């Protein structure tokens, strides 16, 4: 299921095998997301939001996800400890632009835990974002 705001999802054109395999559904991830998925993907979503709003989004996903379902979060992970990293600049931009923020691994782990997920692993991609894998508990 490709889930996004109704106006956004209406503009997504699917072709090839995806046309038959992927359903499009509009909605509000603060309210509810489609239930029963094997995995959920939040790509460049959580960094747009404060911790409070990110927790609301994660809570919505957790209510939809059965225990054992996987959550993949694709976002930059700050190294912490004052280490220079391109995500530090992005953190400042996100704070100024949308009141969002980049987070450290420990901050992601805390948010995920509070929402009912267990951090499984963080996979660097060789680019700015990492893939954060969590499991619904």
Which pLDDT belongs to residue 130? 95
Which pLDDT belongs to residue 98? 65
The domains found in the chain, sorted by start residue, are: 1-30 (no CATH), 32-136 (3.40.50.150)
User: Residue 115's closest CA among 77, 60, 59, 67?
Assistant: 59
Q: pLDDT, tens digit, for every residue of 12-31? A: 888 888 778 888 899 999 99
State yes or no: pLDDT of 134 exceeds 80.
yes
DSSP E strands in 1-137: the ranges are 2-4, 24-26, 39-43, 70-78, 103-104, 117-124, 129-136
Which pLDDT belongs to residue 94? 66
State yes or no: pLDDT of 106 exceeds 90.
yes
Report pTM: 0.85
- Among left, alpha and beta (phi > 0; psi -120 to 50; other), residue 75 is beta
* 47 catalytic per annotation: yes
Which pLDDT belongs to residue 19? 79
* C-alpha–C-alpha distance, residues 21 and 60, integer Å: 24
Instruction: Return the higher-pLDDT residue of 42 and 2.
Output: 42
Q: Out of 44, 47, 85, 120, which one is annotated catalytic?
A: 47
Average pLDDT over residues 2-13: 88
């Amino acid at each position: 299921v490709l889930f996004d705001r109704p106006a956004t999802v209406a503009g997504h054109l699917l072709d090839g095998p995806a046309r038959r395999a992927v359903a499009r559904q509009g909605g509000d991830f603060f309210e509810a997301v489609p239930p029963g998925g094997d995995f959920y993907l939040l790509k460049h979503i959580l960094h747009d939001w404060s911790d409070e709003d990110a927790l609301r989004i994660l809570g919505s996903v957790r209510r939809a996800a059965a225990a054992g379902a996987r959550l993949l979060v694709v976002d930059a992970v700050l190294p912490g400890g004052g280490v220079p990293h391109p995500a530090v600049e992005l953190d400042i931009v996100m704070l100024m632009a949308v009141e969002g923020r980049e987070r450290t691994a420990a901050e992601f782990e805390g948010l995920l835990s509070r929402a009912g997920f267990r951090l499984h692993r963080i996979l660097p991609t060789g680019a700015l974002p990492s893939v954060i894998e969590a499991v619904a508990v």
